[in-house]
Amino acid sequence: MRSRKLRTVLLAALLTVATSVPGMTNSASAGPAATTNAAQIVADLGVGWNLGNQLEANSNGYPSETAWGNPAVTQALIDKVKAAGFSSIRIPVSYLRSIGAGPNYTIDSAWLNRIQQVVNYAYNRGLRVIINMHGDGYKSIPNAWLICDAANQTEIKAKYQKVWQQVATRFQSYDNRLILESMNENFDGQYGRPTQPCYSNINAYNQIFVDTVRRAGGNNNARWLLVPGWNTNIDYTAGNYGFVVPTDQYRSSSIPSNEQRLMISVHYYSPWDFAGEENGTITQWGRGATNPAKRSTWGQEDYLDSQLKLMYDKFVVRGYPVVVGEYGSIDKTSADSSNNRYRADYARAVVATSKKYGAATVYWDNGHNGQYGFALFNRSNTTTTQQGIIDAIKSAR
């Protein structure tokens, strides 16, 4: 597991929530999902925020939203995020040992209920919501199973299909404010060029996801679906490394033939020595940096522009919106008191450049404040901790 997620595992019991708890009701539309074209869905997503290290957290392979040090998610937290100016929330989710045995692979009902409750915290407030399958594809997570180079691909694909069938069925009445995302940073665990048959399996997972959701009933045949390439890496998604956009043969006939309903997911943490490396060496970024020794030799504004242009040229011009589903930089103020200024510059640049090239952005917040944390809010007392970064994000959109 990459260190930027700061996933220190603290033992906690599996949280179970009954259907009758507050928040299980929703205002989902019973009618067809409204038609929303590519430009409109990006505009509607606006500035996004990740509810990181919560519903994807686990204790010994069991999903547990408090296992990585964050308190249970509350309506008050989501209200705070909305009040701060965010218009969309990405909710990473792990299933792991909450999935029963085959052939049905039934998700534990209490866990699925809790997922829906947290989704409703945002959805019922008018926010756009992205539900992402997250830790099930990490080799470093206990009981992860969505592994692209594992031998048992027939079983993996059957399990994957059943899980998404259950999730899509649960949310079938929700309108186009709900987006489903097939997986997270799926790859073979080696930070190099894509390998086979891994990439072909990732493409197959994406195709299973699209076909399964589309056939799950309700508004699923028209909602936007989000799919990643290799490790959500821009070069390995936009370049000639094997990524295949899924076909969408089961989508609603009401969607205009010249419009897509698929989005492409990438993440952006470049340069890594600034954004995620846990030391005090590189603490400044961008043309405003005052100390060349503290600024990376690569990954500045020109590189950022070239990366988003790659995605624009490959996908956006063909009608496939791009979502930068994670970006951000860790807190290094313990080494450089001016660091937050450059973190704000970085966030502003990612959002502004993404907007220039027709992409939406979702800031990665792991709930950790202080040294090497990504958090913009304190989830325990529902206060804002990085107003400067939030202001930078909003100003760029």
Active site members? 185, 326
Question: Cα–Cα distance between 244 and 237 in angstroms, integer?
Answer: 9
For the chain, give the secondary structure using H, E and C.
Answer: CCHHHCCCCCCCCCCCCCCCCCCCCCCCCCCCCCCCCHHHHHHHHCEEEECCCCCCCEECCEECCCCCCCCCCCHHHHHHHHHCCCCEEEEEECCHHHECCCCCCCECHHHHHHHHHHHHHHHCCCCEEEEEECHHHCCCCCCCCCCCCCCCHHHHHHHHHHHHHHHHHHCCCCCCCEEEECCCCCCCCCCCCCCCCHHHHHHHHHHHHHHHHHCCCHHHHCCCEEEECHHHCHHHHHCCCCCCCCCCCCCCCCCCCCCCCEEEEEEECCCHHHHCCCCCCCCECCCCCCCHHHECCCCCHHHHHHHHHHHHHHCHHHCCCEEEEEECCCCCCCCCCCHHHHHHHHHHHHHHHHHHCCEEEEECCCCCCCCCCCCCEECCCCEECCHHHHHHHHHHC
Q: Which residues are CB-neighbours of 25 under 8 A, at least 6 positions away?
A: 120, 124
